[in-house]
Chains A and B, each alone.
Chain A
Amino acid sequence: MKVPYNWLREYVDIPYSPEELAHRLTMAGIEVGSVQVFAPLGENFVAGKIGALSLHPNAQNLQVVTVNTGNGLLNIVCGAWNIKKGDMVPLALPGAVLPGGKEIRTAEIKGVSSPGMLCSAGELGLDIVQEEEGILILNEGCSPGTRLTDILFINEPVLELDLTPNRSDCLGLLGVAREVAAQTGGKIKISAVEVEERGRDIRELTSVEILDPELCPRYTARIMEGFKIAPSPLNMQLRLLSVGIRAIYNLVDVTNYLMWETGFPMHAFDYDKLEKGRIIVRRAHPGEEMVTLDGVTRTLDPEVLVIADARVPVGLAGVMGGEYTEITTATTRLLLEAACFNPVNIRKTARKMNLPSEASQRYEKGVDPEAAIFAQNRAVRLIQETAGGEICRGIIDNYPRPYRVPRIDLRVKKVEEVLGYDVSEREITGILEGLGLEVEAGSPPAVSSPRSNPAGAIYKVEVPSFRRDLYEEIDLIEEIARIKGFEKIPLTLPVGVLTSGRPSRERRVLDRIRDVLVGCGLQEIITFSFMNPRLFDELDLPPDDFRRNAIKLQNPLSEEQGVLRTTQIPNILQVMQYNFNRQVDNQLIFEIGKIFLPAETDSKLPLEKMLVSLALSGKMPQNDWQNTPKPLDYFYLKGILEALLNSLGIKEYRWEAGQLPFLHPTRGATLVVNDQEAGFIGALHPAALEKLQFRQDVYLAELSTEAFLNSVSLSPSFKPLPRYPSVLRDVAFTVPEKVNAGDIMQGLKECGGKLLEDIRLFDVYKGTQIPQGHLSLAFALTFRHSERTLKDDEIDEIQEAMEQFLHDKYAAILRKL
């Protein structure tokens, strides 16, 4: 909402500068986003009176004009022909700077010196409507030499309000003026309007019928005739322009002017085009059509409220008028509408038709029903002043749902209870009355219960129709705090019993995971919870994979954000792609976030699961002048996961080879924790690498925290330190290539039993020293007994059992080292 400072001053005295007003309004909850000057114009522009006109001696298309500047006469060369003797026109004297930046100097034009320039509206930066093109003609009322800024409504500071939805009363300047008055204790300067009616009685000409009073609680109409349609006076046009409305002609301009003043939108119909001169407010019939002012044919339905004549719709109520009944230069009689409509219905229609307008915006928030007659009378008076004409006798006022003044009980004690400081009773009544509310001392509570009725005075407060946002006690308490000023609120802290703010176990687990991964050198990323469903195809996800069953957004911003993610991998790969394209070749990243899986029924909320996803690509960080960098690989990633599981105290887990989504068919594994699938790890499928145009391998893992949360031990119990020495043995086995190292280790573990403290695989060898199709696995085994020193032959025995077992099960042969 734009509020021109000087326009506002017509309704209330303002003892503040525009900037100070902006600050005060802001601090009272009417946020002023900016203060900008409309049509700024510098010095050296004055009104000049045209005297003699003569042709330019050397140019046919120019004339030389004698202009009275109030300070003498000047001969000015001019190319426009719409001026005549006696006209008052804008004169830019040497030194004046046009809004476009051009500076006026005394110029020699074809041999004639011209100490200045007569200006058109366009040259002054004013987009207005004139009867004739050319030099701007000013009112004759002013005297020559007056500065233009003193005559025209320009150089106007305009406050831009960022209104909260509850303050629709400030969508009219009068509402803003009331707010100013509440702060200054001033009075509103405008009062009831006197209208001189003449001619026929309106009841002979029209009737208004409201078929749906819920959607139209009030409809008023007046009729005028005999006016002259023409451009509005210059300053009215400038006023409208300063709030962003381009003038059209007087009748329309007046309704816009009134809307800005009162916040009440109005509409004028060409009375003679109304079938039987009648107005019927009704819902549209199914399939009914109407051409709106913008020339578009619209198909209506019964959800849409229309203004109809006896036959067809002539306007979309509160949204846009119809083309057929539009005021034209041929119009001789008009019917002026000032009505109230149901805000929700207007909002729906404006949305559906995609027709947001200044009017519909006001109707959507609700207009003051009690302001209708005032607006009507202001409007017809203004029309008369600008276009002449006569006002028919009487006014039609169909008001089936009159406004009921709410009476609110306000407990003084409650004010203090909410705000935390004392406000005196005098202050309370002063503030509320300043806002235009009626305050009356009420009787003390009949039944005084200390809880429901805090002791202290109770006021009965009546709220006028222009503040329909106030309807209960808390609303009034807010008004008191607001006008008194939030800066007066003291600073205290809540008191009460202590509460623990310690994070839950799940949060601490997630924090631990994050810390471990960061410690392992991974960078955390955060991607959107949406994803592009097309990526499932790009990544060749099998058609029956559960991840494809992603929840669709009804109204996504784009297809790329079309569904809720069911895995974090696609988004992570996009991040990798983005960074590869920026020469970041080494990427070690992870994300901790939720995925969303459909519930069994649509009415239930989706399942939300927390995932931890990792991705690596590029070189190992051990990349320095002592080491040649090695590429990151599956085992680097697996090592990180093992470190993670270890620091979460998870001991029971295994890796199972298998063909997995997104992954290389023979380079992927499922992580199984406590016999429950917890996620996957592996190399990105080469086909996907190619599609994404990645030039290096990518390793991925995705774990579901749900699967292992219960196995996590954040504070494991103390294990006594060993008191007896350990015995170390290195063993190596030749095994057929197909055998998994994990199985061999499992076998060793089983044979080793309690005495085998640790197994470390320290070499994998394939080559000339062992048979083809085989490889050698070398292990460092640590044995220990907790209560005594182990003897060699005990260990020999275990080692023989290992040898036997692995030989029988996997055809493994112990190598002599």
Chain B
Amino acid sequence: MQENMDRLQLQLKEDIDRAQDFQQLDNIRVRYLGKKGDITLLMRNMNQLSPEQRPVFGKRLNELKNTAETMLEQRKKELYGELSVKRWESERVDVTLPGKPFNPGRKHLITVVLQEIEEIFTCMGFKIAEGPEVELDYYNFEALNMPKDHPARDMQDSFYINREILLRTHTSPVEVRTMQAQAPELPVRIISPGKVYRRDDDITHSPMFHQVEGLVVDKGITLADLKGTLLLFAREMFGKDRDIRLRPSFFPFTEPSAEVDISCIACDGKGCRICGGTGWLEILGSGMTHPRVLEISGYNPEEVTGYAFGMGVERIAMLKYGIDDIRLFYTNDLRMLSQY
């Protein structure tokens, strides 16, 4: 028996040394330690031994089993070292080959900019208000203090469907509609984004473009509040170093009215080609809501005041992304759109 075991151990060592891969090694394990393996069988046959022999033999057998496991483990480690070098070599990939192409689509640049503007204002508590793109003359002009034959109508050459219906030339009619629906409740705090239409077509004008207008009506709203709001917007949109300046201007639906410039994003106000040397870039129009507009919309101008502003989204996008022809937005050249 003892002899048997010694032989077995020798045999085992020989076999293990000869094993060239994990599979062979595993076969050896099965052959010796598996359910029907040699060592297992010896252990199973222990009960045939006399009670005196059993402890001695059992101890020896346990040693043998432990030795076998150690040797297998040892050899496995050796093999691992030998084999892995070959294996890694055979499993090499060229990590510089291109990855699988995933072409995520993109939003149109105007959508990107529009959503950014919307986000800035909605985070300030402005609600988004919407309205029809084909509008009544009344909402587009009359309710905004531009009666028929008002010369200011020339500022916005319009597309007409018939005498009373036209494509809206700005999103201001949405402000009137919102106020009329809400009056006399306070506050009104909205932006109205959307498409607008004017009969113009050149490098800086497109017959269709996008606007975001804003309106706040409440007790005690002032021109200073407008300036503060716009500075906040300019810095969110164009960076925290921006300055703004207000220049007096004229819009029929606001008074006082102001054009708003930001310090040039290209030269930081020093003066360059983009800002025409002035150091300033015009980005929007604004003003205090005209008392008559408040009145038409159901608010008492003696009790409340309001401010309003409006910007062209394309203009903002052109400034921010350095695009010099507005028509590029509607050519929909996929080579351009996929850049953003």
Contacts and interface: CB of A to CB of B under 8 A. Distances in A.
B101 interface: yes
Contact of A524 (B101, B102, B111, B123): B111
Interface in B320-340: 329-335, 337-338
Nearest to A506: B130
A419 B164 contact: no
B312 interface: no
Interface string A23-40: 000111101000000000
A491 B224 contact: yes
Given A578-B333, A623-B101, A625-B98, A420 B208 contact: no
Interface string A478-492: 100110001101111
B101 A529 contact: no
B174 interface: no
Interface stretch (B15-23, B51-59, B82-90, B253-261): B253-261
Interface stretch (A386-394, A534-542, A584-592, A743-751): A584-592
Interface in A594-608: 594, 596, 602-603, 605-606, 608
Nearest to B135: A605
A474 B101 contact: no
A491 B228 contact: yes
B127 A165 contact: no
B14 interface: no
B74 interface: no
B238 interface: no
A514 B107 contact: yes
A711 interface: no
A489 B224 contact: yes
Interface string B224-236: 1101110110000
Q: Which of B97, B118, B302 has the most CB of A within 10 A?
A: B302
B207 A528 contact: yes
Nearest to A558: B201
B104 interface: yes
Nearest to B337: A523
B303 interface: yes
Contacts of B241: none
A526 B330 contact: yes
B223 A499 contact: no
Contacts of B309: none
Interface stretch (A307-315, A318-326, A549-557): A549-557
B125 A344 contact: no
A606 B225 contact: no
Contact of B332 (A555, A578, A621): A578
A517 B105 CA distance: 7
B340 to A, nearest CB: 10
Interface residues of B, number: 89
B106 interface: yes
A718 to B, nearest CB: 28
A524 B330 CA distance: 12
A429 B303 CA distance: 25
Given A489-B223, A602-B162, A418 B105 contact: no
Interface stretch (B40-48, B244-252, B265-273): B244-252
Interface string A606-620: 101000000000000
Interface in B291-305: 291, 302-303, 305
A518 B107 contact: yes
A475 B338 CA distance: 49
Contacts of A502: 122, 127
B274 interface: no
A478 B111 contact: no
A596 B126 CA distance: 28
B297 to A, nearest CB: 16
Interface residues of A, number: 93
Given A347-B149, A417-B222, A499 B189 contact: yes
B225 A494 contact: yes
A400 interface: no
A521 to B, nearest CB: 5
B160 A486 contact: no
B247 A31 contact: yes
B122 A528 contact: no
Given A474-B255, A482-B256, A523 B106 contact: yes
Contact of A496 (B218, B228, B335): B218
Q: Which of B102, B130, B248, B288 has the most CB of A within 10 A?
A: B248
A448 to B, nearest CB: 13
Interface stretch (B3-11, B28-36, B61-69, B151-159): B151-159
A786 B267 CA distance: 67
Q: Which of B105, B124, B227 has the most CB of A within 10 A?
A: B105
A504 interface: yes
Given A526-B330, A557-B207, A579-B333, A420 B199 contact: no
B126 A521 contact: no
A420 B104 contact: no
A590 B123 CA distance: 28
A575 B332 contact: yes
A497 interface: yes
Nearest to B291: A474
Contacts of B111: 514, 524, 526
A565 to B, nearest CB: 11
A582 B207 contact: no
Given A420-B224, A524-B106, A165 B134 contact: no
Contacts of A553: 159-161, 167
Interface string B305-321: 10000000000000000
A503 B122 contact: yes
B198 to A, nearest CB: 10
B13 interface: no
B103 interface: yes
Given A478-B255, A493-B225, A589-B334, A418 B305 contact: yes
Contacts of B225: 420, 492-494
B38 interface: no
A164 B133 contact: no
Interface string A565-583: 0000000000100110010
A167 interface: yes
Contact of A518 (B104, B159, B207): B104
Contacts of A344: 149
B283 interface: no
A481 B256 contact: yes
A625 B256 CA distance: 64
B141 interface: no
B125 A347 contact: no
A123 B126 CA distance: 63
A532 interface: no
Given A165-B151, A489-B224, A497 B187 contact: yes
Interface string A398-422: 0000000000000000000111110
Contact of B187 (A496, A523, A579, A587): A496
B128 A501 contact: yes
Contacts of A491: 224, 227-228, 231
Interface of A: 26-29, 31, 164-167, 343-344, 347, 364-365, 417-421, 451-452, 472, 474-475, 477-478, 481-482, 486-487, 489-504, 507, 514, 517-530, 551-557, 561, 564, 575, 578-579, 582, 584, 587-590, 594, 596, 602-603, 605-606, 608, 621-626
27 contacts: A31-B249, A165-B155, A419-B222, A451-B302, A482-B256, A489-B224, A491-B228, A493-B225, A494-B218, A498-B125, A499-B127, A501-B122, A514-B107, A517-B105, A518-B104, A522-B105, A523-B108, A527-B330, A528-B208, A553-B160, A588-B103, A594-B195, A602-B165, A608-B134, A621-B101, A621-B102, A621-B103
Given A420-B222, A606-B165, 18 more contacts: A28-B248, A343-B151, A418-B305, A482-B256, A499-B127, A503-B118, A504-B128, A521-B104, A524-B108, A525-B337, A528-B330, A529-B208, A553-B160, A561-B207, A575-B332, A582-B333, A589-B334, A624-B100
Question: What are the 9 tightest A-B residue pairs by CB atom distance, in nearest-first order?
Answer: A420-B222, A29-B248, A420-B224, A501-B122, A164-B250, A478-B256, A486-B246, A522-B105, A518-B105
